[in-house]
Amino acid sequence: MSALQHLRILDLSRVLAGPWATQQLADMGAEVIKIEKPDGGDDTRGWGPPFLKDSEGQPTRESAYYLCANRGKKSVAIDMASPEGQARLRELVKDCDVVVENFKVGGLKKYGLDYDSLAAIKPDLVYCSITGFGQQGPRADQAGYDFMIQGLGGLMSITGDPQGEPQKVGVAVTDLFTGMYATVAILAALAHRDRTGIGQHIDLALFDCQLAMLANVASNYLVGNVQPPRYGNAHANIVPYQAFAASDGHVIVAVGNDGQFGRFAELCGHAEWAQDARFATNKARVENRQILVPMISDALATQPRSHWISGMESLGIPGGPINTIPEALAEPQALARGAVVEIPHPAGSVKMVANPIKFSKTPICYDTPPPTLGEHTAAY
């Protein structure tokens, strides 16, 4: 039994933010009907290489990008620009609990697929719109993409080497966080509907989510009224909390409190650091990071990574290596937690990163691969 197997989702979204949300719902058991244009489908189907290889080692039309966000869904090919397609979608809505879409503001109104039109058919419908900038405001009509939102929303100004250029994060975190906010909002709206019988429209913007993700850094500015700088791998509010060069590569040190710092100082062979008024508290260490960090750097450069990692592990000091993606997925902890799953696919099978949620009663089921284009059209 799955947690959300009683729900049916009509997924009009494409690319990443919307599909990420609907994959989360599919993982928890919801029936997700992914509507795709008959000619080409979701844009990400062509975002490769790499493409999934079949049993003979030949590339298929299924890109790795598309595969990462569409597990557990049914693909139905419908031309929503045609009157027939619009009528078919309005008929499908009658038996759906949720609609998710990420078209431009007002883009579905001309098709009669906007919230007001569909709520007239199904008043208890939960309808989630994901756009770049939301349903109102001076930028509402503009398209929004993760990269530009990372820049506009301030994230790039605090990411990267302090002496280098601003950097985006290595994955599309604005899209991904927006997808997760969408999942939370949809489940909350469904809880409200179940109590009241009333549906609602959810207005989610990548820009809003990016601002919310600034978390403690935005709070630092709002409270301290000082523009946050780039710290590279260091932390604005904790020291030492960054990467350091050992004799054979880099290691992460993530000291979270004064007790851990005392043990770390001993590990470095400088127990006196913890008694020094300049470093005894986190507040003092933040204020004196320009003095302390070079001292730590000199100490860590004397031994290889293995020495520091094993030492931190034995003393309960958070820290570790900087893994590549293959190394991260091969970590014994990743293997123990089942971080990679292999799902049967028409091409043979597909490996995917597992959903991180571990339910005790309603486990995630991995029996439905990302669908091929229009695979389930006849069933709907």
| pLDDT score for 297 | 97
Asked whether the predicted pLDDT for residue 356 surpasses 90, the reply is yes
| pLDDT score for 55 | 87
Asked whether the predicted pLDDT for residue 102 surpasses 90, the reply is yes
Give the mean pLDDT of 189-206: 98
> Is the separation of the CB atoms in 348 and 76 below 8 Å?
no
Q: Beta strand pairing status for 126-131 and 98-101?
A: parallel
| Cα–Cα nearest to 269, from 247, 302, 244 | 302
What is residue 142's DSSP assignment? S
Asked whether the predicted pLDDT for residue 1 surpasses 90, the reply is no
| Helix, coil or strand: residue 5 | coil
Give the mean pLDDT of 210-221: 96
Give the mean pLDDT of 23-41: 97
Give the mean pLDDT of 11-15: 97
Q: pLDDT tens for residues 300-339?
A: 999 999 999 999 999 999 999 999 999 999 999 999 999 9
* Segments of 27-154 assigned E as strands: 31-36, 51-53, 59-63, 73-77, 98-101, 126-131
> Is the separation of the CB atoms in 86 and 112 below 8 Å?
yes
The residues, ordered by sequence, that sit 6+ positions from 140 with a Cβ below 8 Å of its Cβ are: 105, 131, 133, 134
| Cα–Cα nearest to 103, from 138, 132, 75 | 132
Q: Which amino acid is at 211?
A: L
| pLDDT score for 358 | 97
Q: What is the mean pLDDT of the chain?
A: 96
Query: Where are the alpha helices (H) located in the chain, listed in sequence order?
Result: 17-27, 64-67, 83-93, 115-121, 146-152, 173-196, 206-213, 215-224, 258-267, 282-287, 289-300, 305-315, 325-329, 332-336
Q: pLDDT tens for residues 103-144?
A: 999 999 999 999 999 999 999 999 999 999 999 999 999 999
| pLDDT score for 137 | 96
> Is the separation of the CB atoms in 20 and 30 below 8 Å?
no
pTM: 0.93
Where do we find the tokens 């999942």? 183
- Tokens matching residue 316: 């309960």
Give the mean pLDDT of 332-360: 96
The residue among 56 and 119 whose pLDDT is bigger is: 119
Residues serving a catalytic function are 175
Query: Where are the alpha helices (H) located in 169-303, listed in sequence order?
Result: 173-196, 206-213, 215-224, 258-267, 282-287, 289-300
Give the mean pLDDT of 236-257: 96
